């Protein structure tokens, strides 16, 4: 039986609609310390064992060039592997696939390699000024910016009809900032 659950480092308590945390909220809960890790997780998790495939893949891909730990229990102030570094290290999908040691596709019909989807998502985020975790508070506080980015992300093939990859991306972004569900 394939483990398709994705209990991401206790990130699942993140919100669909984030709101600012109370002082010290969510401190001590593990979270990715890099937006590159968030993107890899969001793209690779659907249909894959999170603990056995995704977490080791993130560490394998980003660890060698990270400026710090990939996970943290504190709200990350700086990104340990910003998106521009990911894009510089992996200019194309084959390079990322080689580092990931994984050639999965986003879908069996009409999907693209997950490595290609990661690079497309990363390029979109960078084009919208999201370079690392330190940019998240500004974007998460701006619904218009989030909407523009979300619209652009819809163009990346293979996320399914319900936008599960985008949902997971925003969920992980909010959790990484210690945000809690609205309402």
Residue range 51-74: mean pLDDT, rounded: 95
Residue 147 counted as domain residue: yes
From the CB of residue 83, how many other CB atoms can be counted at a distance below 10 Å? 25
**What distance in Å separates the CA atoms of residue 25 and residue 126, rounded to the nearest whole number?**
28
**Residue 60 token pair:** 């394998």
Give the domain range for residue 43. 28-70+78-174
Residue 181 counted as domain residue: no
pLDDT of residue 179: 60
Residue 9 counted as domain residue: no
Q: Is the pLDDT of residue 23 over 80?
A: no
pLDDT-derived band at 3 (thresholds 50, 70, 90) equals very low
**Of the candidates 126, 137, 134, 127, which has an alpha carbon nearest to the alpha carbon of residue 86?**
126
**Residue 110 token pair:** 């009409």
Residue 1 counted as domain residue: no
**Residue 125 token pair:** 């985020």
pLDDT of residue 126: 98
Q: CA-CA distances (angstroms) from residue 36 to 24, 96, 162?
A: 25, 12, 23
pTM (predicted TM-score): 0.84
pLDDT of residue 158: 83
Residue 84 counted as domain residue: yes
Residue range 76-96: mean pLDDT, rounded: 96
Contact between residue 156 and residue 22 where contact means Cβ atoms under 8 Å apart: no
pLDDT of residue 182: 35
Question: First and final CA of the chain: distance in angstroms?
Answer: 36
Residue 180 counted as domain residue: no
Residue 12 counted as domain residue: no
Count of structural domains, the chain: 1
Residue 5 counted as domain residue: no
**What distance in Å separates the CA atoms of residue 47 and residue 102, rounded to the nearest whole number?**
13
Q: CA-CA distances (angstroms) from residue 140 to 16, 50, 59, 111, 149?
A: 11, 25, 26, 29, 11
Residue 101, classed as helix, strand or coil, is coil
Q: Is the pLDDT of residue 161 over 80?
A: no
Q: Is the pLDDT of residue 65 over 80?
A: yes
Interval 89-100: pLDDT, tens:
999 999 999 999
């Amino acid at each position: 039986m394939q483990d398709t659950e994705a209990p991401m480092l206790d990130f699942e308590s993140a919100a669909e609609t984030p709101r600012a945390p109370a002082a010290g909220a969510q401190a001590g809960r593990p979270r990715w310390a890099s937006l590159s890790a968030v993107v890899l997780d969001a793209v690779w998790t659907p249909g894959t064992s999170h603990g056995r495939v995704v977490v080791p893949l993130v560490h394998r891909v980003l660890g060698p060039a990270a400026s710090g730990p990939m996970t943290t229990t504190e709200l990350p102030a700086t990104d340990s592997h910003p998106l521009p570094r990911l894009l510089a290290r992996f200019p194309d999908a084959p390079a990322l696939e080689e580092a990931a040691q994984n050639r999965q596709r986003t879908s069996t019909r009409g999907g693209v390699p997950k490595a290609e989807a990661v690079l497309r998502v990363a390029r979109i985020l960078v084009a919208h000024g999201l370079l690392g975790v330190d940019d998240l508070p500004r974007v998460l506080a701006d619904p218009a910016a989030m909407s523009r980015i979300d619209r652009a992300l819809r163009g990346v093939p293979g996320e399914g009809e319900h936008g599960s990859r985008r949902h997971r991306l925003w969920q992980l972004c909010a959790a990484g900032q210690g945000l809690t569900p609205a309402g």
